[in-house]
Protein backbone atom coordinates (compact mmCIF):
# COMPACT_ATOMS: atom_id res chain seq x y z
CA UNK A 1 0.00 0.00 0.00
CA UNK A 2 1.37 3.42 -0.94
CA UNK A 3 2.17 5.98 1.73
CA UNK A 4 4.13 9.20 2.14
CA UNK A 5 6.95 8.90 4.65
CA UNK A 6 8.69 12.19 3.94
CA UNK A 7 7.92 15.12 1.68
CA UNK A 8 10.95 17.22 0.74
CA UNK A 9 13.76 17.77 -1.71
CA UNK A 10 17.17 16.12 -1.81
CA UNK A 11 19.05 19.39 -2.05
CA UNK A 12 21.75 18.52 0.49
CA UNK A 13 24.02 15.46 0.34
CA UNK A 14 23.85 15.06 4.12
CA UNK A 15 20.11 15.51 4.65
CA UNK A 16 17.21 13.21 5.50
CA UNK A 17 16.14 12.69 1.88
CA UNK A 18 19.68 11.67 0.91
CA UNK A 19 19.65 8.99 3.61
CA UNK A 20 16.21 7.70 2.56
CA UNK A 21 17.27 7.42 -1.08
CA UNK A 22 20.60 5.84 -0.16
CA UNK A 23 18.92 3.20 1.99
CA UNK A 24 15.95 2.64 -0.34
CA UNK A 25 17.04 -0.75 -1.63
CA UNK A 26 17.74 -2.23 1.81
CA UNK A 27 14.42 -0.85 3.12
CA UNK A 28 12.41 -2.23 0.21
CA UNK A 29 11.44 1.18 -1.17
CA UNK A 30 11.01 2.09 -4.81
CA UNK A 31 12.54 5.40 -5.87
CA UNK A 32 10.89 7.45 -8.62
CA UNK A 33 12.90 10.39 -9.92
CA UNK A 34 11.79 13.33 -12.03
CA UNK A 35 12.90 16.89 -12.78
CA UNK A 36 11.48 20.13 -14.15
CA UNK A 37 11.96 18.78 -17.67
CA UNK A 38 9.54 15.92 -16.94
CA UNK A 39 6.87 18.34 -15.74
CA UNK A 40 6.96 20.92 -18.56
CA UNK A 41 3.82 21.95 -20.37
CA UNK A 42 3.56 21.31 -24.11
CA UNK A 43 5.90 23.57 -26.11
CA UNK A 44 4.44 25.27 -29.18
CA UNK A 45 5.96 24.65 -32.61
CA UNK A 46 6.42 28.40 -33.00
CA UNK A 47 9.27 28.35 -30.47
CA UNK A 48 12.79 27.73 -31.74
CA UNK A 49 14.78 25.08 -29.88
CA UNK A 50 18.06 26.60 -31.03
CA UNK A 51 17.35 29.87 -29.20
CA UNK A 52 15.80 28.33 -26.08
CA UNK A 53 17.79 28.45 -22.78
CA UNK A 54 16.35 25.04 -21.90
CA UNK A 55 17.45 23.29 -25.10
CA UNK A 56 20.60 21.89 -23.44
CA UNK A 57 18.44 20.07 -20.86
CA UNK A 58 15.21 19.53 -22.77
CA UNK A 59 16.53 18.38 -26.15
CA UNK A 60 13.08 18.80 -27.70
CA UNK A 61 11.22 16.61 -25.18
CA UNK A 62 8.77 19.41 -24.42
CA UNK A 63 7.37 19.14 -27.95
CA UNK A 64 5.45 16.08 -26.73
CA UNK A 65 5.11 17.09 -23.08
CA UNK A 66 1.92 16.95 -21.03
CA UNK A 67 3.02 18.59 -17.79
CA UNK A 68 1.89 21.68 -15.91
CA UNK A 69 4.92 24.01 -15.73
CA UNK A 70 4.85 26.70 -18.40
CA UNK A 71 7.94 26.99 -20.59
CA UNK A 72 8.32 30.71 -19.83
CA UNK A 73 8.18 30.03 -16.08
CA UNK A 74 10.95 27.45 -16.38
CA UNK A 75 13.06 29.83 -18.48
CA UNK A 76 12.67 32.59 -15.88
CA UNK A 77 13.65 30.19 -13.11
CA UNK A 78 16.76 29.18 -15.07
CA UNK A 79 17.76 32.82 -15.42
CA UNK A 80 17.40 33.50 -11.69
CA UNK A 81 19.67 30.77 -10.32
CA UNK A 82 23.21 29.58 -10.83
CA UNK A 83 24.28 26.27 -12.34
CA UNK A 84 24.71 24.51 -8.99
CA UNK A 85 21.23 25.46 -7.75
CA UNK A 86 19.61 24.69 -11.12
CA UNK A 87 21.14 21.21 -11.29
CA UNK A 88 20.31 20.44 -7.65
CA UNK A 89 16.86 21.97 -7.23
CA UNK A 90 15.38 21.78 -10.73
CA UNK A 91 17.16 18.99 -12.60
CA UNK A 92 17.63 16.79 -9.51
CA UNK A 93 20.99 15.63 -10.87
CA UNK A 94 22.74 15.74 -7.52
CA UNK A 95 22.41 17.61 -4.20
CA UNK A 96 24.07 20.99 -3.83
CA UNK A 97 27.61 20.78 -2.43
CA UNK A 98 27.68 24.39 -1.21
CA UNK A 99 27.87 23.46 2.51
CA UNK A 100 30.22 20.50 2.10
CA UNK A 101 33.85 20.65 3.14
CA UNK A 102 35.02 19.08 -0.12
CA UNK A 103 32.77 20.33 -2.93
CA UNK A 104 35.55 19.35 -5.35
CA UNK A 105 34.95 15.66 -4.61
CA UNK A 106 33.16 13.95 -7.49
CA UNK A 107 32.51 10.22 -7.44
CA UNK A 108 32.64 10.05 -11.24
CA UNK A 109 36.13 11.59 -11.19
CA UNK A 110 37.80 10.41 -7.99
CA UNK A 111 36.36 6.89 -7.52
CA UNK A 112 37.56 4.20 -9.92
CA UNK A 113 39.00 0.71 -10.09
CA UNK A 114 42.77 0.63 -10.49
CA UNK A 115 45.49 -1.99 -10.43
CA UNK A 116 47.51 -2.60 -7.30
CA UNK A 117 51.26 -2.22 -7.84
CA UNK A 118 53.60 -4.99 -6.64
CA UNK A 119 55.19 -4.70 -3.23
CA UNK A 120 58.38 -2.62 -3.46
CA UNK A 121 61.70 -4.44 -3.35
CA UNK A 122 64.57 -3.07 -1.33
CA UNK A 123 66.83 -0.85 -3.43
CA UNK A 124 64.47 -0.82 -6.43
CA UNK A 125 62.14 2.00 -7.54
CA UNK A 126 58.42 1.43 -7.24
CA UNK A 127 55.22 2.66 -5.69
CA UNK A 128 55.51 4.11 -2.21
CA UNK A 129 52.98 2.65 0.23
CA UNK A 130 51.67 5.04 2.87
CA UNK A 131 48.72 5.21 5.27
CA UNK A 132 46.53 7.58 7.26
CA UNK A 133 44.82 6.95 10.58
CA UNK A 134 42.30 8.64 12.86
CA UNK A 135 42.16 7.19 16.35
CA UNK A 136 38.97 6.34 18.20
CA UNK A 137 37.32 3.86 20.53
CA UNK A 138 33.61 4.58 20.94
CA UNK A 139 33.86 6.41 17.64
CA UNK A 140 35.61 4.28 15.05
CA UNK A 141 39.30 4.15 14.33
CA UNK A 142 39.85 4.59 10.58
CA UNK A 143 42.98 3.26 8.86
CA UNK A 144 43.54 4.02 5.15
CA UNK A 145 46.04 2.19 2.94
CA UNK A 146 47.39 4.07 -0.08
CA UNK A 147 50.18 4.05 -2.61
CA UNK A 148 51.79 7.00 -4.31
CA UNK A 149 52.50 7.12 -8.03
CA UNK A 150 55.53 9.42 -7.97
CA UNK A 151 55.63 9.90 -11.74
CA UNK A 152 52.09 11.31 -11.84
CA UNK A 153 52.07 12.49 -8.19
CA UNK A 154 48.74 10.75 -7.60
CA UNK A 155 47.71 9.17 -4.29
CA UNK A 156 45.65 5.98 -4.67
CA UNK A 157 43.57 5.02 -1.61
CA UNK A 158 43.30 1.26 -1.97
CA UNK A 159 41.58 0.05 1.24
CA UNK A 160 40.14 1.07 4.59
CA UNK A 161 39.80 -0.44 8.04
CA UNK A 162 36.95 1.01 10.12
CA UNK A 163 36.49 -0.45 13.60
CA UNK A 164 34.85 0.83 16.81
CA UNK A 165 35.42 -0.38 20.37
CA UNK A 166 38.63 -2.20 19.50
CA UNK A 167 41.85 -1.93 21.50
CA UNK A 168 45.03 -0.70 19.84
CA UNK A 169 46.49 -4.21 19.94
CA UNK A 170 43.39 -5.62 18.21
CA UNK A 171 43.59 -2.94 15.52
CA UNK A 172 47.27 -3.66 14.92
CA UNK A 173 46.47 -7.35 14.45
CA UNK A 174 43.61 -6.48 12.07
CA UNK A 175 45.90 -4.24 10.02
CA UNK A 176 48.52 -7.00 9.79
CA UNK A 177 45.92 -9.36 8.32
CA UNK A 178 45.23 -7.14 5.32
CA UNK A 179 47.05 -8.23 2.13
CA UNK A 180 48.83 -4.93 1.49
CA UNK A 181 52.54 -4.16 1.96
CA UNK A 182 53.57 -2.52 5.22
CA UNK A 183 53.37 1.24 4.59
CA UNK A 184 56.56 3.30 4.76
CA UNK A 185 54.76 5.45 7.32
CA UNK A 186 51.33 6.20 8.82
CA UNK A 187 50.13 9.81 8.97
CA UNK A 188 48.29 9.99 12.29
CA UNK A 189 46.38 12.30 14.57
CA UNK A 190 48.85 14.18 16.83
CA UNK A 191 46.47 13.51 19.72
CA UNK A 192 47.76 9.93 19.57
CA UNK A 193 50.85 11.08 21.49
CA UNK A 194 48.80 11.43 24.68
CA UNK A 195 49.77 8.78 27.20
CA UNK A 196 47.27 6.41 28.77
CA UNK A 197 46.87 6.78 32.53
CA UNK A 198 46.77 2.97 32.85
CA UNK A 199 49.74 1.95 30.68
CA UNK A 200 51.82 5.13 30.51
CA UNK A 201 52.08 4.58 26.76
CA UNK A 202 50.48 6.54 23.94
CA UNK A 203 48.55 4.99 21.06
CA UNK A 204 51.29 6.08 18.65
CA UNK A 205 53.92 4.50 20.90
CA UNK A 206 52.06 1.18 20.77
CA UNK A 207 51.99 1.24 16.96
CA UNK A 208 55.71 2.07 16.88
CA UNK A 209 56.51 -0.70 19.34
CA UNK A 210 54.71 -3.10 16.98
CA UNK A 211 57.06 -2.06 14.16
CA UNK A 212 54.99 0.57 12.32
CA UNK A 213 56.50 3.94 11.43
CA UNK A 214 54.21 6.82 12.42
CA UNK A 215 54.29 10.47 11.41
CA UNK A 216 52.23 13.24 12.96
CA UNK A 217 52.23 16.96 12.42
CA UNK A 218 50.19 19.67 14.06
CA UNK A 219 48.77 22.20 11.62
CA UNK A 220 45.58 24.23 11.58
CA UNK A 221 42.45 22.34 10.55
CA UNK A 222 41.73 24.78 7.71
CA UNK A 223 45.25 24.35 6.32
CA UNK A 224 44.84 20.57 6.32
CA UNK A 225 41.49 20.85 4.54
CA UNK A 226 43.09 23.06 1.89
CA UNK A 227 45.80 20.43 1.38
CA UNK A 228 43.17 17.75 0.68
CA UNK A 229 41.31 20.09 -1.66
CA UNK A 230 44.51 20.62 -3.66
CA UNK A 231 44.77 16.86 -4.08
CA UNK A 232 41.16 16.62 -5.23
CA UNK A 233 41.71 19.31 -7.86
CA UNK A 234 44.94 21.15 -8.51
CA UNK A 235 45.20 24.63 -9.93
CA UNK A 236 45.78 23.23 -13.41
CA UNK A 237 42.69 21.01 -13.13
CA UNK A 238 44.68 17.79 -12.61
CA UNK A 239 43.49 15.22 -10.07
CA UNK A 240 45.95 14.06 -7.42
CA UNK A 241 43.73 11.61 -5.53
CA UNK A 242 42.00 8.39 -6.59
CA UNK A 243 39.88 6.17 -4.37
CA UNK A 244 39.04 2.51 -4.89
CA UNK A 245 35.29 1.69 -4.75
CA UNK A 246 35.88 -0.71 -1.84
CA UNK A 247 36.53 2.32 0.42
CA UNK A 248 32.81 2.88 0.98
CA UNK A 249 33.11 4.75 4.30
CA UNK A 250 35.68 7.19 2.96
CA UNK A 251 33.66 7.84 -0.20
CA UNK A 252 30.48 8.54 1.76
CA UNK A 253 32.38 10.68 4.25
CA UNK A 254 33.90 12.91 1.56
CA UNK A 255 30.44 13.32 0.04
CA UNK A 256 28.71 14.25 3.31
CA UNK A 257 31.37 15.95 5.47
CA UNK A 258 29.91 19.42 5.89
CA UNK A 259 29.80 22.74 7.70
CA UNK A 260 26.72 23.81 9.73
CA UNK A 261 24.24 24.95 7.03
CA UNK A 262 22.66 27.48 9.42
CA UNK A 263 26.03 29.09 10.28
CA UNK A 264 27.64 30.25 7.02
CA UNK A 265 30.42 32.01 8.94
CA UNK A 266 31.53 28.78 10.68
CA UNK A 267 34.77 27.18 9.43
CA UNK A 268 34.65 24.11 11.69
CA UNK A 269 32.97 21.05 10.09
CA UNK A 270 30.17 19.21 11.84
CA UNK A 271 31.22 16.13 13.81
CA UNK A 272 28.37 13.76 12.92
CA UNK A 273 30.37 10.63 12.11
CA UNK A 274 31.58 11.62 8.65
CA UNK A 275 34.64 13.35 10.11
CA UNK A 276 36.61 10.21 11.07
CA UNK A 277 37.48 8.89 7.60
CA UNK A 278 37.91 12.46 6.32
CA UNK A 279 40.37 13.13 9.16
CA UNK A 280 42.35 9.95 8.38
CA UNK A 281 42.72 11.15 4.79
CA UNK A 282 43.73 14.62 5.99
CA UNK A 283 46.47 13.19 8.24
CA UNK A 284 47.78 11.15 5.31
CA UNK A 285 47.88 14.14 2.96
CA UNK A 286 49.45 16.67 5.32
CA UNK A 287 52.25 14.24 6.16
CA UNK A 288 52.88 13.69 2.45
CA UNK A 289 52.46 17.21 1.07
CA UNK A 290 54.69 19.43 3.15
CA UNK A 291 53.71 22.99 2.32
CA UNK A 292 54.78 26.31 3.79
CA UNK A 293 52.82 25.91 7.00
CA UNK A 294 53.78 26.79 10.53
CA UNK A 295 53.90 23.26 11.91
CA UNK A 296 55.13 21.12 14.72
CA UNK A 297 56.45 17.80 13.42
CA UNK A 298 56.58 14.85 15.77
CA UNK A 299 57.14 11.15 15.57
CA UNK A 300 59.56 10.91 12.62
How far from 283 is each of 114, 152, 185, 223, CA to CA, in Å?
A: 23, 21, 11, 11
Decide the pairing of beta strands 296-298 and 241-243.
Answer: unpaired
pLDDT digits (tens, 9 = 90+) for 210-257: 999 999 988 999 999 999 999 999 888 899 999 999 999 999 999 989
Residues 6+ apart with CB under 8 A from 151: none
pLDDT digits (tens, 9 = 90+) for 36-76: 999 999 988 888 888 898 888 888 888 888 899 999 999 99
**Cα(43)–Cα(65) distance, rounded to whole angstroms?**
7
Percent of the chain with pLDDT over 70: 87
Closest CA to 256 of 22, 79, 72: 22
Strands of 214-218's sheet, edge to edge?
241-243, 154-163, 141-149, 128-134, 186-188, 214-218, 296-298
Weakest-pLDDT range from 25-29, 112-116, 132-136, 230-234: 25-29
pLDDT tier at 123, thresholds 50, 70, 90: low
Task: Write down the H helix ranges in the chain.
Answer: 16-22, 24-27, 55-58, 71-80, 83-85, 107-110, 168-177, 203-209, 221-232, 248-256, 275-288
Amino acid sequence: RASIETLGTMHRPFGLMQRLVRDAASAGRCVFRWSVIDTLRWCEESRSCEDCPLEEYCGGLARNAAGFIDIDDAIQQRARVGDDTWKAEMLCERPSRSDTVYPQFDRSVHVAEFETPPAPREGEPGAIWIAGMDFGYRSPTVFLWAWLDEDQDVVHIIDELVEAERTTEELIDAARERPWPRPAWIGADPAGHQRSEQTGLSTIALWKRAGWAVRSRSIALEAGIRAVRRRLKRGDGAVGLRIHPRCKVLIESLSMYHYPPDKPECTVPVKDGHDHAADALRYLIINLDRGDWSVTVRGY
